[in-house]
Structure 1
Amino acid sequence: MKTILKKVSVYATVAGCIAILTMGVNADTLIKTGSRGSEVYTIQTKLKNWSYTNANPDGIFGNNTKEAVKYFQRKNGLTPDGVVGYLTLSKLGMANVNSTLKSGSRGDAVKKLQSALNNKGYSVGIADGVFGSKTYNAVVAFQKANGLTPDGIAGPITQTKLYLSTTTTTAATTASTAASRGTTSREQMATDLYWLSRIINAEAEAEPYKGKVAVGNVIMNRVNSSYFPNTIKGVIFEYYQGIPQFSPVADGTIYNEPNAESIAAAKEALNGSRPVGNSTYFFNPAKSAGTWIVKNKTYVTKIGNHVFYK
Structure 2
Amino acid sequence: MDEMILQVQKYLNTTYGGRTGYSQAPENGKTGWSTMYSLTRALQIELGISNTSDSFGPLTSSTYKSWGEMELGNVPTTNKGERIVLILQGACWCKGYNPGGFDGVFGEGTRQAVIGLQTDAGLPIRNGRVYDYIFKAFLTMDAYKLTLGGDPRIQQMQRDLNYHYYTTSGVQPTDGHYQRGTNRALIFGIQTEQGIPSEQQTGSVGPTTRDRLPTLGYGSTGVFVKFLQYALYVNNFDAGVFDGIYGIGVRDTVKEFQTFVGLGSDGYAGKQTWLSVLVSTGDPTRKGTACDCITEITPARAQTLKNAGYQSVGRYLTNVSGGHNKKIQPNELQNIFDAGLTIFPIFQEVSLDESYFSKTKGIEAAAKAYKAAKSYGFKKDTIIYFAVDFDALGHQITNSIIPHFEGINEEMNRLGGLYQIGVYGPRSVCSSVSEAGYAITSFVSGMSNGFSGNLGYPLPANWAFDQISTISIGSGEGFIEIDNNIKSGRDNGQSSVDYTEPTEPTEPVDPPPSSIDPNEDPIARRALYNKWEEIGCKIPVLHQSSSSLFTTEFKFNKSYFVTGGPFYEVYVEAATTAIMPGLSEYSLINFTNGQPEIKAESFLGDTVTSLTVEQIEDYENFMKDITLSVGNGTLAASMTPVGNELKIDLKIFSEEVEVSIRKDKLLLEITLTLFLKNDKLTSEPAPIDEPAPVFVPLLQQVAVGGAVLGIAALAIWASPALFTWTSTAAIVGFLIGSDDDPEDTSS
Give the structure with the higher percent strand: 2
Q: Which has the higher helix share?
A: 1
Tell me the TM-score normalized by structure 1: 0.32
Q: Give the number of the structure with larger relative contact order, counting CA–CA contacts within 8 Å between residues 6 or more apart.
A: 1
TM-score (norm 2): 0.15
